[in-house]
Structure 1
Amino acid sequence: MTRIKLGVPSKGRLMEKTFDWFARHDVTLKRTGSEREYAGAVEGIGGIDLVLLSAGEIPRELAAGRIHLGVTGSDLVREKLADWDNQVASLALMGFGHADLIIAVPDCWSDVDTLEDLDAAAHAFRDTHGFRLRIATKYHRLVRDFLTREGVADYQITDSQGATEGTIANLTAEVIADITSSGETLSANHLRVLSDGLIHQSQANLFVTRAVDWLGTNAAFQTLVQRLNLTPPTL
């Protein structure tokens, strides 16, 4: 019988909360090596291997079928996988890892409160400066899709893989699109979320791949789904 591979975040609070979530269902996940080793094990159900990965790697590994189940944020799945719901399915919302992907502008832009205002500001910015307003983000797909739906077009994406809130002060962007949970970092950097600038409300999900056709009949998978008290999706 083919063994099931379960991918979980390899460090930090996401890993800890994932381990706790499974433990509440009498499934023990644990590291088997040192803190520097990405080795782990699943206890309580046979036929399942634990794979420790970065949260950002898990969507593509699921889509490729190299892992069969994976815990990661819904924001990462939607960002990294085009047509994501044909490649993976959500088995469970896990109740942690909550964060909002939002669009924020400088506090001093007192006349920009909505996406319609942002669209007008973007046109004025290009007329004044000769180049398009820059939006710093690492969520290129989600931001582009959202702004296209909302009719905002006159902008350019600037890639930012860290400290996105600082890009405006550093004069490398005029607007940001980023994940926030408390809003404290935005406030500290004198930024304000647009009133209709919520792109996606993310949380950790237990996802299952659609890339293999035998998963639904695998005994270990069936046992795990029953132990977790979940309804298996149509794969």
Structure 2
Amino acid sequence: MKIKIAVPSKGRISEPSINILEKAGLGLKDRESRKLISKTFNKDIDVLFARASDIPEFVQDGIADIGITGIDLIKESEADVIELLDLKFGKTNLVLAAPEDSNIKSIDDITSEMTLATEFPTLTKKYLEKNNLNLKIVKLSGSTEAAPFIGVADLITDLTSTGTTLKMNHLEIVDTLLKSSIVLIANKKSVETKKDLIDSVSTSIKGVLDAARKKLLMMNVKTKDLECVKEVMPSMGGLTISDVLSEEETVAAQAVIDEDEVFDLVNKLRNAGAKDILVVPIERII
């Protein structure tokens, strides 16, 4: 039994999606040629390249068993899928924005005579209905930020991660409709019929996420200094201790720590008596 993983074929989330699969041990055999379907080094798992906006429906309809796409696209398409993991990248917000020189400073300033342009008509309509507003919605497929300045609309809803593009186009955020990130999703039937393979993929990817910004710290410690080292050493599950056969009264100690702790911790460990300290990258934590 085989599974297909749908991955964005292009755009800002394509490379990060492929990279996380490769770190999880699912290297693509045809990565350079970018065929529609690429085999991986696991004979039971193939990768299907598709538009990010098509992936929610591909997974819902069983064309792919698993997919990587944005929460915003899932909600917009109203796809009936299972969310397995937040992949911790591609964070963005769907916001309501208006020209900075307009009188629209809050949702209370919006009237039903106004027109709104967006690439997300479904999410936008739900937001307006929730706020008892009945605006005309113009669906665009790009350059949404230009709409208020060419007479297409009074305001827009658009994706932003930093707000920089909006500011460059003299737009300001009025409200936030949705916070989005990139997630791993699965087809409901596939989760039942191909559970083992899907669990293996999900577990491997979660291991990559858990290992992000983690380091393995290894050191030799004199037995008499071990308690002092323990006192300054944070770790996920305590120190792992083993004997050093070539030296008497010395043990080897290791622990997993956060990357941002390394600089300060190494000096503290040296002062506590540790030596031969190694800092090693971690690929996965299962």
Flag whether TM exceeds 0.5 (same fold). Answer: yes
SS of corresponding position for 1:29? coil
2:58 corresponds to 1:61? yes
Give the aligned residue type for 1:102: V
Q: Deviations over 1:90-110 (max 9, x none)?
A: 111111111110000111124
Aligned partner of 1:185 in structure 2 is 165
Give the structure 1 partner of residue 73 of structure 2: 76
Inter-CA distance 212–224: structure 2 relative to 1 (3 Å threshold):
closer
* CA-CA distance at 1:12 after TM superposition: 3.5
SS in 1 for 2:149: coil
> Are 1:38 and 2:18 matched, yes or no?
no
- Given that 1:63 and 1:211 are in contact with CA atoms closer than 8 Å, whether structure 2 keeps it comes out as no
The C-alpha deviation readout for 1:112-135, integer Å capped at 9, x for no partner, is: 3221222xxx15xxxxxxxx3110
Q: Which residue of 1 is the match for residue 253 of structure 2?
A: none
Residue 225 (str. 1) matches residue 202 (str. 2): yes
Deviations 1:173-199 (A, max 9, x none): 1110111112122112211111xx100
Give the whole-Å Cα distance in 1 for the aligned partners of 2:31 and 2:23: 20
Structure 1 counterpart of 2:262:
none
Q: Quote the residue 1:106 is aligned against.
A: 99
- Tell me the secondary structure at the aligned position of residue 108 of structure 1: coil
- 1:215 corresponds to 2:214: no
Q: 1:168 aligns with which of 135, 148, 161?
A: 148
Distance across 1 between alignment mates of 2:29 and 2:162: 30
Unaligned runs of 5+ in 1: 124-131, 231-235
Match of residue 9 from structure 2: 10
Q: Which runs of 5+ in 2 are unaligned?
A: 208-286
- CA separation of 1:69/1:148 partners in 2, compared to 1, >3 Å: closer, same or farther? same
Q: Which has the larger radius of gyration?
A: 2
Change (3 A) 1:95 1:30: farther
Q: CA deviation at 1:20?
A: 1.7
User: What one-letter code is carried by the residue in structure 2 that aligns with 1:62?
Assistant: V
CA distance in 2, matches of 1:200, 1:51: 28
The CA distance in 2 between the partners of 1:74 and 1:162, in whole Å, is 19
Relative to structure 1, the CA distance from residue 174 to residue 34 in structure 2 (aligned partners, 3 Å threshold; closer, same or farther) is same
Shift, 1:152, TM fit? 2.1
Query: Structure 1 pair 205/29, CA: closer, same or farther in 2 (3 Å)?
Result: farther
Change (3 A) 1:23 1:115: same
The RMSD of aligned alpha carbons is: 2.0
Superposed CA deviations along residues 130-182 of structure 1, whole A, max 9, x for unmatched, are xx3110001011011112112222x1101111100111111111110111112
Matched pairs, number: 207
Take 2:202 and 2:167, find their aligned partners in 1: how far apart are those partners? 42
Q: Find the residue that maps to 2:184 and give its secondary structure.
A: strand
- Please give the alpha-carbon distance, in whole angstroms, between the structure 1 residues aligned to 2:163 and 2:68: 25
SS at 1:28's partner residue? coil
* 8 Å contact kept, 2:20–2:205: no
Deviates more, 1:71-80 or 1:19-28: 19-28
Give the TM-score, by structure 1 length.
0.81
Corresponding residue of 1:233: none
The one-letter code of the counterpart of 1:42 is: T
Residue 27 of structure 1: aligned partner: 26
Identity level (%): 26
Inter-partner Cα distance in structure 2 for 1:10 and 1:30: 15
Q: Which has the higher contact order (CA 8 A, sep 6+)?
A: 1
Please say if 1:140 is aligned against 2:121. Answer: yes
